[in-house]
Amino acid sequence: MNTHTFSLCQTELTAFPSGALLDAAAGALCVSDLHLGKSDRIARYNGPLLPPYEVRETLDRLSADIATAQPTTVICLGDSFDDMAGRTSLDESCTTLLMQMQAGRRWIWIEGNHDPGPLDLGGSHLREVTIGALTYRHIAEPDARGEVSGHYHPKVTLPGTGSARACFAFDEARCILPAYGAYTGGMSVHTPALRGLLASEAQVILTGRRALLAPLASNAVARSGPQRRGLRGRSG
Amino acid sequence: MTALPPAFDTWFAARGWSLHPHQQAMLDRARAPALLLIAPTGGGKTLAGFLPSLAELADGTHKGLHTLYVSPLKALAADIRRNLTTPVDEMGLPIRIEDRTGDTSYTQKRRQRADPPHILLTTPESLALLTSYEDAPRIFAGLQRVIIDEIHALSESKRGDQLLLALSRLQSLAPGLRRVGLSATVEDPAAIAHQLACHPDPCAILHADPGPDPDISMLITDERPPWSGGGAAYAIPAVLAEVKRHKTTLIFHNTRAQAEIFFHNLWLANDEDLPIGIHHGSLDREQRTRVEAAMVAGQLRAIVCTGSLDLGIDWGDVDLVIQVGAPKNVKRLIQRIGRANHRYNAPSKALLVPANRFEIVECVAALEAAKAHDLDGDPKGDGPRDVLCQHILIRACAGPFDATTLFKEVRSVGAYANLSRAAFDDCLEFCATGGYALRAYDRWQRLKETDGLWHLRDPRAAQRIRMNIGTIQDTDTLKVRLKGNFKPLGEVEEAFAATLTPGDTFLIGGQIVRYEGLRELTVEVSRDASRKPKIATFMGTKFATSTQLSSRILRMFRQDSWPELPDHTAEWLSLQRKVSQLPEADRILVESFPYDGRHHAVFYGFAGRNAQQTLGLLLTQRMEELGLNPLGFVATDYATLVWGLNPLTDPAPLFQADDLRAGFDKWLQGNAVMKRTFRASATIAGLIERNLPQARKSGRQATFSSDILYDTLLKYDPDHLMMRITREEAFRGLVDFGRIEEMIARTVGHIDHVVLTRPSPLSAPLFLEMGRVPIAGEGRERLVEEAAARLLADAGISTD
C-alpha cells in the first residue's frame, strides 16, 4: 500500500498519497480545500479561461479514494467551493457523481473562508465536527489538541528532488491537510504562519505516487522551493 | 539624387562630415513602401534611417506623429533620443523627439497619447500596448514612417512577430505608412525583407559598404586549455595582458554564469587594480546603468559581459573584443566583433579564447567561416500562433473588430502570409471561449460576437490583458539582496535558488555571497570573505553550436593533419584517429567501452547541445526497452555519453528512425521540456497571467504551477490548441528534434561501432562535463524515497 499511517492523540490515521486522510477505526475519510469551481470564478472575474476539467478531476480522485477506503463518513474540511457561486459550475454529471458518493454515508461540509454558507448539495453543513478524540475544522486554532485542519495548502521540497509537493504536516497536537483540489497552489511549510502552528519535531508526509514521511525540522528540508510564479488565486 | 534642406548641409559641413553612399541611397529611396538597410556596426545606420524623417519634418508643417522608431532595447531608445536631439537642436529644427518605454512615467505616457511627438522612440512591447488603446486610430492617424532598428535581432524572436503584427494594425490606421528596417550583417537578407514588407509588397534591400575585414585571431597561451569546462581560467593572465595593451576591451561570454566566474578570477589576478566592470542581464538595473555610464565616460579598461551588450549602443572607444568560449554561431561572432573600433572603415580587432581543448577546434572552424563570410542561421518557421492569440486579445482591447478584416490584416504580415482561415479561427475561438472540447464558458466568454463584431464581454478585462502584453519569457527569477538591505544585487533563477542550502556561497555581480535563506520571494545573502565560492554559479541558457559550424568541424576532421591547430590539439586528434576513428558527416560514430565499473557508450551526432540532449533521452529510453539498464547520460554540442549496467553490443537498432520518432512522441508528452515550452506559450497566449492587478507580495499567495494545467489538458483535451502549439514549439526549440532528423537523414543508417577497452581521446572530455542527467521515471520516485529515508535516518527516526 502506498499510504502512510501515523497516530495523533491515540487515534491511528492513514495519509493517502492523494492528500486524503482516513480514520479507519471511525470510518471517517477527510479531504480539505477542494476549491471546486476555481476556473469558473477566474473566468467570471475576467481572468484567463483555464481548462475547465478541474471539478471532474478532483471528484474522480475523491471517488477513487472513497472506493478504496469505504468510509461511513466523509468530511470535506472547508473551502470545498472556491466561492459561493462555484456551485453553478458543477454540471449535471458532476452533481450526479457527488450524489453517488454521498449515497449511504454521512457527508459533512465544514465551512471554510471561501464557502461560509450551506449549498443545496446534500450532506450537513457544520462549523466543525468532533469524532472520537479529533476535532475537524477548517482553520487551525493555536492552542488546540487533537485537531485536523486544512486552509494553508502546505507543500515542501526535499533536497535534490527539484519540485515542491503538497504535504500533510503534523505534530503531537494537530494535523494540517494538503489541498486536495486539482487547481490549488501550495504554501511552503516553512512560512511563519504555518511553521508557527507546528512543534519543532513536526513531520511531513509528501503526496504523490506514494505517501512519504520526512522530518520537517531538517536543515535540508528547510529550503523548500520558492513559490512558483504560475497562476495566482485568492489565498486560502 | 535627393538633396537635404540647407540647414543640414551647413551642419554637416561645419563638422567636416559628408553623407555615406548608403545614407544618400536611403534619402533617394525615401518613398519606397519598404526598405531594408544592411550595414555593419558603426556604419551610421541609425542616421541613415532617420535622415528622410528629419528632412520631411524640417519645414514644420507636419502635425502629430510622423515617425515611429522601434528598437529591441529600452536603453537603445533613450540613447538614440539623446544622439538625435543634439543635431536637431543645433540645426534648430522644429522637431519634437520623445521616447516611450516601460520606464516612462505615467504622466508622460498620458501626455504622449493626448499630444504625440513628431518622432516617438519605443520598444515592441510599448508599441503593442499603444495599439491596444481605444484612441489608437487618433494617435497613429498621420504616421508616415516606421524605423525598426536591429531588425536582425528582433526577427529571430517572437518579439519580432509581435512587432510586425502591430505594424499590420498601424498600416490599416495609416495606409501610407512606409517601413524601414536597419540590420547588421546577416546570412539571408531576403528573409528579413520578406518579414518587414507588408505582404505581398516587395521590399528593396540596400547594402552599405561592409568595410574592411576584421582582424581576428585565436589567443594562444603558454598554458594548455583544460579538457573540458567553460571557465577559461587558464587564460586569465593572457587576457589581462591584452587588457593592459588596449584602451578599452569588451570581454564577451556565452553565459552569465561564465561571465561571473571569469570576472571573479580576473579580479583575483588584477594586481594593478585596472578598472574592470561586469555587465549582464541578471544584474540589477541600477548596477548596469552605473557600468554603462562609466563605460561611456571612458573610465573602464574592460567590461566582462554577455549578450546584454550585443546590440548597438554606442560605447565609445572599444579597441578590442575578446570572445571567451567557442562562439557557437558565426553570425553572432561577427556582430560582436563589430563592437570594436566603432568607426567606419577601420578594421575591428578581436581575439577568440577557447575554454577547452575541443573548443580550439571550434574556434579555428569559426575563424575560417568568418574569413569566408560564411554566416549561419536557421530559416524561421511560420508565425507562431501563441503570439497571434495575444494579438487578437490586444486588438479586442482597442474596440470591436470584424474577424475577416483582422484575418486579412494578419495575413499581410510576412510570417503569417500562409496562415489559413481555419488556423486563425482556432486562435480566435481560443481567445473567446478557451477552445475546449468541453464547452464550459458560454456564460463567461472572454470575447463575444455581437452584430458581426467581436468585443470583450466585460470591458474591464482590458486592464488585465494590457498588463500581460509581451512575449519575452523571463525565466522565473528571484531577487537577491543583502540581509537587512533593501537594494537588490541582482537576480538568480528560481531553479538555482532551490538548490541552495544555508551556508552555500555563490557569485553575483563579482562578489561572493553566502546564502542565508529565502524571505518571501527574495534570496537573502550576506557578504562572505572566502576566496572561492562553493557553488559554481547560477544556471544560464546554453547556445547550441550551429549546423553550419558543426559541419565545418566535421570537414576539418577529414584532413590528414592539422597545421592550423596548436600541437597539443592536433596530437589529440591524431591519437583519436589511431585508437578509434574521427567522426564523419555522413556516418554516426558510436564508441563503447567499460570505465569505472560501468559500461559506457558515446554517440557522436554533432547535432548541437539541445538535440544531443534529446537524443540522450530517446536513446536511454530505447536502451531501457532493450534491457541495457542505462543509468544516466550527459550531452555536449557534439556527442552524448550514456552509462549503464549492460554493454551495448549493437547500436543499429537504437537508430531506427521510425522507432525513434514513435518513442519521441511518447516521451515528449511527459517531458519537462514540454512543460517548460507549454508554460512559455500559454503565457504568451494569455492562458497564464504573469501580472495581476494588486499582485500580492506576501508569501501567502495560493499559486499553482502551469504543470498542472499541462497535465490536465494532456488527460482531458490532448488536442487542444495550446497542446498543438507546444508540440510545434518544442520540436524546433529546446527539443530540437529537427536536428536529430537532419542527423538521421545525413547518415542514412551508416553506423560505425568501435568497441574499445578504455575511453577514447575524443570521449575523455565528456567525463568532465557538467549537467549529467539521471534517467527519469521510476528512478525519480526512488530519488525522493532515498532522500526521505536519509533525512529520517539523520533525524534518528525509525521508518517502521
pLDDT number for residue B698: 34
Cα separation of B79 and B314, whole Å?
Answer: 8
Q: What angle do CA B307, B309, B314 make, to 5 degrees?
A: 155
CB-based contact B608:B546 (threshold 8 Å): yes
Cα separation of B466 and B133, whole Å?
Answer: 9
Same domain as B165, residue B246: no
Cα separation of B392 and B455, whole Å?
Answer: 10
Question: Do B702 and A235 make contact, defined as CB atoms within 8 angstroms?
Answer: yes
pLDDT number for residue B745: 82
Helices (H), ranges, B39-179: 45-57, 74-90, 106-114, 124-131, 136-139, 151-154, 158-173
Helices (H), ranges, chain A: 38-44, 54-69, 92-102, 192-195
Span A93-104, pLDDT tens digits: 899 999 999 999
pLDDT number for residue A229: 32
pLDDT number for residue B404: 98
Helix (H, G, I), strand (E, B) or coil at B99: strand
Mean pLDDT on B612-622:
84
pLDDT number for residue B489: 79
By residue range, what is the domain housing residue B172?
Answer: 6-207
Q: How near does any CA of chain B get to the CA of A73, in Å? A: 29
The tally of domains found in chain B comes to 4
Phi, psi of B109 (to 5 degrees): -65, -40
Can you give B435-469 as a three-state secondary structure string? CCCCCCCCCCCCEEEECCEEEECCCCHHHHHHHCC
Best A44, A50, A155 member to test B by mutation, with max B CBs in 10 Å, is: A50
pLDDT number for residue B777: 43
Residue B43 has pLDDT above 90, yes or no: no
Q: How near does any CA of chain B get to the CA of A160, in Å? A: 7
Q: How near does any CA of chain A get to the CA of B718, in Å? A: 11
CB-based contact A167:A155 (threshold 8 Å): yes
CA B703 vs CA A155, A183, A233: distances in Å: 11, 9, 6
CA B695 vs CA A99, B688, B703: distances in Å: 38, 14, 12
CB-based contact B71:B80 (threshold 8 Å): yes
Cα separation of B311 and B250, whole Å?
Answer: 13
Q: How near does any CA of chain B get to the CA of A78, in Å? A: 15
Question: Do A53 and B696 make contact, defined as CB atoms within 8 angstroms?
Answer: no
Cα separation of B185 and B334, whole Å?
Answer: 8
Chain A CB contacts of B794 under 8 Å are: 218
Cα separation of A78 and A99, whole Å?
Answer: 18
Cα separation of B565 and B627, whole Å?
Answer: 42
CB-based contact A94:A128 (threshold 8 Å): no
- Measuring CA to CA, which residue among B187, B181, B177, B188 is closest to residue B154? B181
Cα separation of B784 and B790, whole Å?
Answer: 10
Q: How near does any CA of chain A get to the CA of B777, in Å? A: 11
| B600 occurs within a structural domain | no
CA B58 vs CA B2, B52, B61, B141: distances in Å: 14, 10, 8, 20
Cα separation of B512 and B531, whole Å?
Answer: 8
- N- to C-terminal Cα separation, chain B: 91
Q: Which residue of B has its CA nearest to A184?
A: B704
Helix (H, G, I), strand (E, B) or coil at B600: strand
Mean pLDDT on B588-597:
91
* CATH code for the domain in which residue B86 is found: 3.40.50.300
Beta bridge partners of B519: B522
CB-based contact B123:B73 (threshold 8 Å): yes
Of B126-130, B362-366, B439-443, B624-628, where does the model show the most confidence?
B126-130
Cα separation of A110 and B223, whole Å?
Answer: 72
B625 CB-near residues (< 8 Å, 6+ apart) = none
Amino acid making up residue A173: A
* Of B433, B478, B797, Cβ closest to residue A49: B433
What distance lies between CA A184 and its chain's CA centroid?
10
| B254 occurs within a structural domain | yes
Q: What is the DSSP secondary structure assignment for residue B690, as one 8-state letter?
A: S
Mean pLDDT on B564-572:
90
pLDDT number for residue B417: 95
Residue B538 has pLDDT above 90, yes or no: no
Q: Mean pLDDT over all residues of chain B? A: 84
Best A35, A49, A206, A207 member to test B by mutation, with max B CBs in 10 Å, is: A49
Phi, psi of B34 (to 5 degrees): -150, 140
Angle subtended by helix axes B256-269 and B236-245, to nearest 10:
80
Burial class (CB in 10 A: 0-12, 13-18, 19+), B574: middle
Chain A CB contacts of B795 under 8 Å are: 215, 217-218
Chain B CB contacts of A46 under 8 Å are: 446, 457-458, 460-461, 464
- N- to C-terminal Cα separation, chain A: 31
Query: How does B255-264 read in b/e, with b if 16+ C-beta sit within 10 Å?
Result: bbbbbbbbbb
User: What is the torsion angle, in degrees rounded to the nearest 10, for the CA atoms of residue B190, residue B192, residue B194 and residue B197?
Assistant: -130
Best A227, A234, A235 member to test B by mutation, with max B CBs in 10 Å, is: A227
CB pairs A-B closer than 8 Å: 193
Chain B CB contacts of A2 under 8 Å are: none
Of B79-93, B503-517, B651-665, B701-715, where does the model show the most confidence?
B79-93
Q: What is the DSSP secondary structure assignment for residue B401, as one 8-state letter?
A: B
pLDDT number for residue B477: 67
Q: What is the DSSP secondary structure assignment for residue A212, as one 8-state letter?
A: E
Mean pLDDT on B236-260:
88
Rg (CA), chain A: 17
| B596 occurs within a structural domain | no
Q: Mean pLDDT over all residues of chain A? A: 87
Same domain as B25, residue B169: yes
CA B681 vs CA A76, B688, B710: distances in Å: 36, 9, 11
Q: How many CB atoms lie within 10 A of CB A96?
A: 11
Q: Which residue of B has its CA nearest to A213?
A: B788
Can you give B538-560 as a three-state secondary structure string? CCCCCCCCCHHHHHHHHHHHCCC
Burial class (CB in 10 A: 0-12, 13-18, 19+), B424: buried
- Residue B775 pLDDT level (bands cut at 50, 70, 90): low
In terms of pLDDT, which residue wins out, B37 or B311? B37
Chain A CB contacts of B458 under 8 Å are: 46
Same domain as B156, residue B12: yes
Chain B CB contacts of A226 under 8 Å are: 478, 494, 497-498, 518, 521
Amino acid making up residue B637: D
Least confident of B195-204, B317-326, B453-462: B317-326
CA B295 vs CA B214, B291, B292, B315, B485: distances in Å: 23, 6, 5, 7, 27
Question: Do A40 and B440 make contact, defined as CB atoms within 8 angstroms?
Answer: yes
Question: Do A44 and B444 make contact, defined as CB atoms within 8 angstroms?
Answer: yes
Cα separation of A85 and A83, whole Å?
Answer: 5
Helices (H), ranges, B563-656: 567-579, 609-625
pLDDT number for residue B772: 66
* CATH code for the domain in which residue B406 is found: 1.10.10
Beta strands in B101-253 (DSSP E): 119-122, 145-148, 178-183, 204-207, 215-218, 249-252
A4-215 under CATH 3.60.21, yes or no = yes
Amino acid making up residue B603: F
Question: Do A233 and B702 make contact, defined as CB atoms within 8 angstroms?
Answer: yes
Question: Do A234 and B446 make contact, defined as CB atoms within 8 angstroms?
Answer: no
Which of B424, B443, B467 is where one domain is finished? B467
CA B196 vs CA B9, B167, B183, B201, B628: distances in Å: 31, 9, 11, 10, 52
Least confident of A28-42, B138-152, B648-662: B648-662
Q: Which residue of A has its CA nearest to B440?
A: A52
Same domain as B360, residue B484: no
Joined together, the cell numbers standing for residue B131 give: 495599439
In chain A, what's the furthest Cα-to-Cα distance? 48
* Of A52, A209, A230, Cβ closest to residue B705: A230
- Measuring CA to CA, which residue among B782, B792, B786 is closest to residue A213? B792
Domain edges within chain A:
4-215
- Residue A162 pLDDT level (bands cut at 50, 70, 90): low
Cα separation of B97 and B86, whole Å?
Answer: 11
Joined together, the cell numbers standing for residue A38 give: 476555481
Q: How near does any CA of chain A get to the CA of B494, in Å? A: 7
Chain A CB contacts of B501 under 8 Å are: 159, 219-220, 223
Best A33, A229, A234, A235 member to test B by mutation, with max B CBs in 10 Å, is: A229
CB-based contact B429:B437 (threshold 8 Å): no
Mean pLDDT on B375-397:
90
Which of B177, B207, B237 is where one domain is finished? B207
- The ipTM assigned to this model is 0.86
Residue that has been written with the C-alpha cell 512575449 in this structure:
B471
* Cis previous bond, B117, omega within 30: no
Best A41, A231, A234, A235 member to test B by mutation, with max B CBs in 10 Å, is: A231
CB-based contact A180:A31 (threshold 8 Å): yes
Question: Do B797 and A215 make contact, defined as CB atoms within 8 angstroms?
Answer: yes
Q: What is chain B's percent helix, strand, coil content, to nearest 5? A: 40, 15, 40
Residue that has been written with the C-alpha cell 559598404 in this structure:
B209
Least confident of A22-31, B489-498, B691-700, B757-766: B691-700
Same domain as B178, residue B67: yes
Which of B174, B191, B207 is where one domain is finished? B207
